[in-house]
Amino acid sequence: MVQLFTPYQLFCLALLAITAPFLSFILSLIFKKIAGALGILSIGISFISSLILFLGIWKKQTLHFAFHWIELGNVKIDVGILLNDLSVIMLLLISFIALLVHIYSVEYMRKDGLKYRYFAYLSLFCFAMLSVVIADNLFLLYAFWELVGFSSYLLIGFWFSKEKAVQANKKAFIMNRIGDVGFLIGLMVMLTQFHTLDLSALFGSENLISSSFVKNGIWVTPFNTLPSYWLTITGFCFFAGAMAKSAQFPLHTWLPDAMEGPTAVSSLIHAATMVAAGVFLLLRIAPLFNEVVLTTMVCIGLFTAFMAATIALTQKDIKKVLAFSTISQLGFMVVAVGVQDQAAAIFHLVTHAFFKCLLFLAAGIVIHELHHLKEKHQLDFDEQDLNNMGGLRKQLPITALVFLLAAMALSGLPFTSGYLSKDAILVSIFEWADLKGGVYWIFPLFISITSWLTTFYIFRVVFKVFFGEFRLPQLLSKSDLKIHEPSSWMRVPVVVLGVFCFGFFFAYNPFSLDSAWIYQGFIQQVHSEGFYHILVPLYINVLSLALIFLTYQAYANKKIIFNLEHTWFYQLSLNQWYFNDFYDVFLMKIVLFKASVFNWFDHNIIDGFIHFLTDLVIWLSKISDWLDKHAIDGLVNGAAALVKRIGIWLRGMQSGKLQHYFIWMLLLFLSFMLFKIIV
């Protein structure tokens, strides 16, 4: 096969893909008026470079470029770039989604006085995330992993004048640091055991997992040489880092609060960047995980998916619903990694990026237009509250259509991008439970319920926002409701994303995984489509369609009324399973109490002891000063005075009179004689 680009040219393109956003970050802070254009230009360059890299790498070759950096004894750390199928699919996904978000942001942030800073932060964020996916070793990956966390901190708290935004970015930063401690410990264990952090040396680079292979259904990996307890500990450490980044229980509470940032930021974080980094890490180091870690991964992923879906059922803030939807879908991906179906996890990661980004950007249009309505009529209402919406499909027909497409993809309905990817995960769980047997059948049950809950909560949003009558109580007449589609800057990106919600972009046969090119590109072992491949999509989607009809009757036609506000389940869901309250009571208050105790101990014991020592030293210095003045100086001064008096007396003997000299000589002679007689 003829290669259009040499390895060196591909290496240069990879460098260009990551350095363009970094240069944009610097230049945007200098040339503030053209920050938006610089951001779009840079991420456009990254996208074109990523597209060429994809065409040159995908299913053709693997390229690894490394430069020697650190060597201490038998420990060697290099810095380089790893370009394989996983790298290039992520590069293409991130740059494309980010390009659309940049274009959308031009209009969304037009009136913001600090929009140059917004585009600078956005460029830094893209640089960090693009660098994560092409890093060739775990140390470099960890460095850019932390930069992703820092840049997200800047973006979430972009509106720093809002107290909630400040608290949200602090919460996101701290909770991610908790997980990153585990990541760092895992790095140290790997370095201690293998004396290298190079991904190619540890995991191989030919494809997703080339240094491991499947034999009789069991992975054979280089890590089989590790003691089982070290393998388990290391796996849990890396999983902790992924849990925080991808908002998995119990480190999930930061993600809903991150909605305080601009909606365009939310779309990027939730679609293909920050939260995807955790799943990407699990995929990158998949051979490391043993059975204990994998089973734990399935349990946590399933619980997270179910829990987040139940919370999304009752949330009133449209962005909060989408935030918990992201947490739930990430749980699906973690479950897929846990049941060792990395192909399904990657497939759903890609399709989810498109329809989740679209959901956020479409929601952003609704919020943007309601905000203008709020300012125009000088009203006081929450433009993100679902109860202040309704019937908007008449004023926002394009937005309503693309939001509906994204909702169908999220629900996994046929002919959409989410149908095959979501059902691939469901089928894998059924096959995994069938192989395990017994109590493991609880996993397919709960993942099915979670899938149905997903359909219910997203179509609840669809019908409450775009159907029925407009419910804003402050507007007295329909003539006041003058909302229209935004400019092309916001409209074009959502239309493009809407097109990618159709399944034919990812499979020429929308009902067969065999035709899904992303899934087939990462599948580890060939398996035929069996009983579950027919049964699971059938019964999942039949009930999903029934739930859509039920949701329509409840929230559009108002023929069904749910009086559940006072039930324990509704309150549990509305209050997000009380996790924030639990953390406030049992973690935050304990931490604050301990801080107050340590403050008292520091103030009264440590500082008191130091102050006592200070007073003692001062007292001793005063005594020393007195002794110095009165004893030492007194002795010295007294001796000097005595010598002086003697000198004066002796000087008086030199009177110049001869008779005086004879008298002194006589006295001296008599004194000498007396002394001799006595002695």
Going through 40-190 in order, the beta strands assigned E by DSSP cover: 63-72, 75-83
Q: List 66's β-bridge partners, or say none.
A: 80
The helix/strand count (H/E) of the chain reads as: 26, 4
pLDDT more than 90, % of the chain: 41
pLDDT in tens, 224-273: 667 788 889 999 999 999 999 998 989 989 998 888 888 888 888 877 77
The angle, 0 to 180 degrees and rounded to 10, between the axes of the packed helices 397-411 and 442-466 is 170
Which tens digit of pLDDT belongs to each residue from 145-197?
Answer: 999 999 999 999 888 888 888 888 888 899 999 999 999 999 998 888 888 88
Q: What is the pLDDT of residue 208?
A: 42
Strands 213-215 and 218-220: antiparallel
Q: How far apart are CA 478 and CA 469, in angstroms?
A: 10
Mean pLDDT (whole number) for 422-432? 91
Residue 216 has pLDDT above 60, yes or no: no
Residue 390, pLDDT > 70, answer yes
Write the Ramachandran bin of 490: left for phi over 0, alpha for psi from -120 to 50, otherwise beta.
Answer: alpha
Domain segments of the chain: what residues? 1-208, 366-574, 582-678
Local structure of 431: helix, strand or coil: helix
* pLDDT exceeds 70 at position 34: yes
Name the strand (E) or helix (H) holding 215: strand 213-215
Q: Let me know if 526 is exposed, middle or buried by CB neighbors in 10 A (0-12, 13-18, 19+).
A: exposed
Give dist(CA 46, CA 22) in Å, integer.
Answer: 11
Report the distance separating Cα 412 and Cα 458, nearest Å: 12
Has residue 16 got a pLDDT over 60? yes
Q: What is the mean pLDDT of the chain?
A: 86
- What pLDDT is stored for residue 377 in this prediction? 75
Are the CB atoms for 495 and 398 separated by under 8 Å?
yes
110 DSSP assignment = T
CA separation for the pair 64, 11 (Å, rounded): 9
pLDDT digits (tens, 9 = 90+) for 94-132: 999 999 999 999 988 888 888 899 999 999 999 999 999
- Choice among 298-302, 370-374, 458-462, 657-661 with the minimum mean pLDDT: 657-661
What pLDDT, on a 0 to 100 scale, did the predictor assign at position 20? 95
Cα 481 to its chain centre, rounded Å, is 39
The span from the CA of 494 to the CA of 422, in Å, is 22
Indicate whether 141 pLDDT > 90: yes
Q: Is the pLDDT of residue 467 over 70?
A: yes
* 496 or 378: which leads in pLDDT: 496
pLDDT at 482 over 90: no
Distance linking the first and last C-alpha atoms of the chain:
127
Q: What is the share, in percent, of the chain residues with pLDDT greater than 70?
A: 92
Supply the pLDDT for residue 622.
Answer: 86
463 by DSSP, 3-state: which?
A: helix
Instruction: pLDDT band for 528, please (50, 70, 90 cuts).
Output: low
| Residue 603 banded pLDDT, cuts 50, 70, 90 | confident
Q: Please tell me the distance from the alpha carbon of residue 383 to that of residue 51, in angstroms, as a whole number.
A: 38
Q: Grade residue 219 by pLDDT with cuts at 50, 70 and 90.
A: very low
- Give the range among 68-72, 394-398, 461-465 with minimum mean pLDDT: 68-72
